[in-house]
A = this chain, B = another copy of it.
Amino acid sequence: MRIEVICTGDEVLTGKTINTNFSMISQKLEDVGLAVQWETTVGDDRDNLLLAFQLAGQRADAVIVNGGLGPTVDDLSQEIAAKAAGVELLLDERWVTRMEEYFRSRGRVMPPNNRKQAMLPAGAELIDNPIGTACGFALTIGKARFMFTPGVPREVRRMIDDQVIPRLLSMAGTQSTIFLKRFHSFGLGESRADAMLAGVEALAPEGSVKLGFRAHYPQLETKLAVRGRDLAEVRRQLEPVEAEVRRRLGNFILAEDDQTLEGNLLRTMIERNASLAVVETFTGGQIAARLVPLPDAGKVFRRGAVGLNREDLRRNVGADGQDAASIAAAARQCAGATHGLAVVVDVDEGQDRVEFGGTVHVAIVTAGGVSTRRSRLQGGREWLRLGAIEMGLDCLRRHLAGVPIDERIDFEKSLN
């Protein structure tokens, strides 16, 4: 089945807006075993839109169109879809009612120009948008089934999951449910993780589980896409593979699915009535900033301290020495926290470059003792900064889980 995507809108075409909707759509399709073959971006321009619809209608079996369903005059998707299909635009009363309810529930009256959003090509199949006023719809143009989605990211995301993917899977003749299991890790590169997981797909019936990765330094996402008749079958097929991935990636797994490292840290600390003081140098507040914005942070976070040289830091927290352990201990004590975390980075001198790096010193102090880790990261200033933030948080996660905090990671260089 050939699938194409058409993105519309001057904001995207001129580069004012980076086209993250497209990558989201393509990734979601890939996660369920579908592949986008071709993507086209055109502006809010009748001729180019019409040509894009016609060309895709000649080549593809299914086309996802994103954008152009808004209430303003430059939103042209319905009009051009009708023209390309050779049908009229008709007012869909069901959608007018839905929009009126939408506005009423927010204590507002629907502005007249929103009626335009209920004008659909004759014969179009409505695709529900439960969280906005843009009406999705499906329509055949040429030999392809077109599915029109709104440009608002959270609306299109929801519509792809709930409406578009099931239709595509049914067109592909896949009478199946798809489930995506995800593991997040820090310290593994894609090729090492791939080697560690060699053969895991074979633990499920042939082809039903597909392994994939998405690297976004400093984290790596390991994905298992599972296909089955229903959720029960999916779970049966996934179970042995999931267990084996968890066993092999082991201590490196910092979160699964929609969880995050910082969210898990916070939850664990709340469960244990633990509290935290953080001291950091080169990361400049970014470690604290991963935790503080979370809604429950106030239950755990006691104090953050930022300084650029060890002496400033030492004085700031009233420590005996300038080493990470002394600083973490003093910060813990003066904040009255159960846990003190210090991340002190000795940064290379000179110009930023690929070999630029630094030595990251992590110390975690509790009533029970001190754990430390020392590691050299390099790859440029920004790479070092991102790695040091993640290493600090991940060491704390490992410490709370009772696993070694100094397991060798792929990004570090030998310190000798």
**What is the total number of copies of this protein in its complex?**
2
Interface class of chain A by DSSP: mixed
Distance in angstroms between the alpha carbons of A271 and B38 in the assembled complex: 54
Pick the contact of A283 from B281, B289, B297 — CB < 8 Å? B289
In the bound complex, residues from chain B placing their C-beta under 8 Å from that of A45 are: 37
A62 to B: closest C-beta gap in Å = 16
A269 to B: closest C-beta gap in Å = 13
A308 in the interface (beta carbon within 8 A) = yes
A243 in the interface (beta carbon within 8 A) = no
A320 in the interface (beta carbon within 8 A) = no
Chain A: interface size category:
35 or more
Contact (Cβ within 8 A) A298 B292: no
With A18-B20, A288-B284, A302-B307 already in contact, the answer to whether A13 and B36 are too (CB < 8 A) is yes
A361 in the interface (beta carbon within 8 A) = no
Pick the contact of A304 from B13, B27, B48, B305 — CB < 8 Å? B305
Pick the contact of A19 from B18, B36, B285, B298 — CB < 8 Å? B18
Pick the contact of A15 from B16, B17, B27, B306 — CB < 8 Å? B27
Contact (Cβ within 8 A) B36 A39: no
A178 in the interface (beta carbon within 8 A) = no
A393 in the interface (beta carbon within 8 A) = no
5 further A-B pairs in the complex, CB-CB below 8 A; given A16-B27, A280-B285: A14-B30, A18-B18, A18-B20, A298-B309, A303-B312
